[in-house]
Homo-oligomer: A and B are copies of this chain.
């Protein structure tokens, strides 16, 4: 079993770097704070005897050799960059849980057959440089390293320049692992949702992650004075958009239990009390566990939006802007997580990740699964993000046992 207190102390120590007055963390990718956080974790990796490797997009790996020089590594990890008003656990937990696994094995003098690796992936949050999950995406070959290094932030600085500046532009080619691709990859993460807490389970066995399709929608009607314009002569873009928001909800409910539909962003023009809006722009975020389901949502949206635009004498334009395919994690890895939770006697339930994670990209190049632990009120991407030490420890014990099951003792 891992050392609950040591894990908690490491989390609290890392949370000091970029700490915000409200108890959160601001450690945005490739800033000075990110460099300080990276330096701290690398120092801890070295102290734990890990061999550190940095790849050409700034992903960092700490390797604990196994007894079999031919064996492929069993890996874990997550990210240490945060949202601007982020919390102490999102990402950081997965990295420090991996470190705690190594420290536990060290203090018990346990050698594994296969090597173990703990990774932290560059820029998961995508808040300064888009897209999200940049480092793991490059590792998995979804993005080219050159493309990633040329991405710019709002000030025109590139990922490559900033990696060089903070000393994390490595020379290992993206995806290269000594001895070959990971034999397995496990990622522990806070749930970022309310399900485990609602069901009072410390462990979520993550069987997959929802696919995502994001859209930009523009509804165009005609500005007109709210007073003299009769109801039947209006081209009210606000009314059309409102009905579309309701349709997004209906379409998601039709795809229960895994369908999700959210309109998070909406902007009205000219946005004046007594002017019928001539234009409304909004976002649609659809998620589902199957591509068939996502396709059905896409089709239903196009039909419904066209009908509703017409009903309100408006035009509608839909542009897809983001797409992540649904991901079903590796059954063997998922079984190892379940087996570990059973053996350790933790109450658990199977869940699906609603959010994107580095594991979703790594899954395309290695057998992968995730372990979720509850977070308070399901809140994340917020300075008040919180989690219980006992849940974090439980997840870390599950991680330890799942990794050992694959690495062999």
- CB neighbors of B among A276-300 (8 A): 276-277, 283, 285, 287
In the complex the two chains form, is B260's CB within 8 Å of A231's CB? Answer: yes
Please give, as numbers and ranges, the residues of chain B lying within 8 Å of A379 by CB-CB distance: 224
CB within 8 Å for A264 and B277 given contacts A193-B228, A378-B224: yes
When distances are taken between beta carbons in the complex, the residues of chain B under 8 Å from A378 are: 224-225, 228-229, 233
B-contacting 9-mer, from A28-36, A236-244, A327-335 = A236-244
Q: How far is the CA of A242 from the CA of B264 in the complex (A)?
A: 12
Contact status B264-A193, CB under 8 Å: no
Q: How large is the interface on A (under 10, 10 to 19, 20 to 34, 35 or more residues)?
A: 35 or more
Q: Report A251-281 residues with CB < 8 Å from chain B CB.
A: 252-253, 256-257, 259-268, 271-277
Determine if A92 is an interface residue (Cβ-Cβ < 8 Å): no
Q: Does A117 contact B (CB under 8 A)?
A: no
Q: Which residues of A213-227 are within 8 A (CB) of B?
A: 214, 223-227
The reply to whether B231 and A256 form a contact with Cβ atoms under 8 Å apart is yes
Q: Is A230 close to B, CB under 8 A?
A: yes
> Contact: B212 with A262, CB < 8 Å?
no
Question: A212 to chain B: which residues have CB within 8 Å?
Answer: 227
Q: A225-B355, A226-B262 are in contact. Are A231 and B246 (CB under 8 A)?
A: no
Q: Give this chain's copy count.
A: 2
> Is A381 an interface position by the 8 A CB rule?
yes
Minimum CB–CB distance from A184 to chain B (whole Å) comes to: 24
The residue of chain B having its C-beta at the shortest distance from the C-beta of A256 within the complex is B231
Whose C-beta in chain B lies nearest to the C-beta of A263? B238
Pair A193/B355 contact, Cβ less than 8 Å: no
Check if B355 sits within 8 Å of A227, measured CB to CB.
yes
Could you tell me the distance between the alpha carbons of A113 and B210 in the complex, rounded to whole angstroms? Answer: 83
* A353: chain B residues within 8 A (beta carbon): 227-228
| Contacts known (A225-B192, A228-B192, A228-B378); A264 close to B271, Cβ less than 8 A | yes
Q: Is A25 on the interface with B (CB-CB < 8 A)?
A: no
Residues of A53-89 whose CB lies within 8 A of B: none
Q: Is the C-beta of A249 less than 8 angstroms from some C-beta in chain B?
A: yes
Query: Is A325 in contact with chain B by the CB < 8 A criterion?
Result: no
B266 and A229 contacting across the interface, CB-CB below 8 Å: no
A195 on the interface (CB 8 Å rule)?
Answer: yes
* Residues of B with C-beta under 8 A to A315: none
CA distance A195 to B231 in the complex (A): 11
11 CB contacts below 8 A, A to B, read A192-B225, A193-B224, A226-B262, A227-B287, A228-B355, A228-B380, A230-B260, A238-B266, A241-B242, A243-B246, A265-B271
